[in-house]
Amino acid sequence: MLVPGSKAPEFNTIACVGIEKGKEFKKISSKDHPGKWVVLYTYPKDFTFVCPTEIVEFDKKLKDFADRGAVVLGGSTDNEFSHLAWRQSHADLKTIKHPLLFISAAMGQAYGLLHPEDQVALRATFIIDPNGVVRFATANDLSVGRNVDEVLRVLDGLQTEELCACNWKKGEETLTAKIKKAG
């Protein structure tokens, strides 16, 4: 899996962006959001149980991410047609506003986010800075959902460009490194 400090691989893929006839799909590229932070999260499969809880939670927080100059992109190794069918059949997903990307095998390998046995996307999250550098990367086991508030907290910390203590929250003091002079 990519680690912080890595350059995020470029991608160009198709995404499900809505359920309105004729407006369901759009090409999405890593170059579509210049000057923005990108929060890219992946989930294992459509038509599952944990995944929609995360998708909906990310969608509820879109304004919070936008207020921080960040865009949210979700996706799995299921294709755009599967994403559309799931969105059409799942009441909570019908109105989401962020795209669900088709994570191709090549993209999954480039980001190192494929489960070693199941070859589906891990439940991974990447925060990528405006220069295309991964600043945060995490992955959970397929059965455990992530905490979207923690992703926001980390984004806040990264954007301070300062030292942030454990459990630090936006608005709190950051740490100052004090160097003691010898002698």
CA nearest to 138, candidates 56, 39, 69? 39
164 CA to centre of own chain: 21
* Residues spanned by the domain of 141: 12-160
Examine residue 3 and state whether it is found in any structural domain, yes or no.
Answer: no
Residue 177: per-residue pLDDT: 67
Classify residue 180: in a domain, yes or no. Answer: no
When divided into structural domains, the chain yields a total of 1
Q: Is 164 a known active-site residue?
A: no
Q: Which helix (H) or strand (E) holds 38?
A: strand 37-42
Query: Considering the domain boundaries, does residue 182 fall inside one?
Result: no
Q: Locate tokens 């980390």: which residue?
A: 154
| Count of helix runs (H) and strand runs (E) in the chain | 5, 7
pLDDT of residue 181: 63
Question: Per-residue pLDDT tens for 58-93?
Answer: 999 999 999 999 999 999 999 999 999 999 999 999
Residue where the block lists tokens 């959001």? 33
Cα 65 from Cα 44, distance rounded (Å): 23
139 within some domain: yes
Residue pair 20/84 in contact (Cβ under 8 Å)? The answer is no
Tens of each residue's pLDDT in the chain, 183 residues: 999 999 999 999 999 999 999 999 999 999 999 999 999 999 999 999 999 999 999 999 999 999 999 999 999 999 999 999 999 999 999 999 999 999 999 999 999 999 999 999 999 999 999 999 999 999 999 999 999 999 999 999 999 999 999 999 999 999 986 656 665
Q: pLDDT value at position 176? A: 82
Assigned domain for 101 exists: yes
Q: What is the pTM of this model?
A: 0.94
- The active-site residue, picked from 16, 51, 164, 166, is 51
Q: Kindly state whether residue 172 falls inside one of the protein's structural domains.
A: no
Supply the CATH number for residue 43's domain: 3.40.30.10
Tokens in use for 156?
A: 């806040």
What pLDDT was estimated at residue 106? 94
In a domain, 155, yes or no: yes
- For residue 91, what pLDDT is reported? 96
Question: How many angstroms separate the first and last alpha carbons of the chain?
Answer: 45
Spell out the residues 6+ positions from residue 51 whose beta carbon is closer than 8 angstroms to its own: 43, 44, 45, 76
102 within domain boundaries: yes
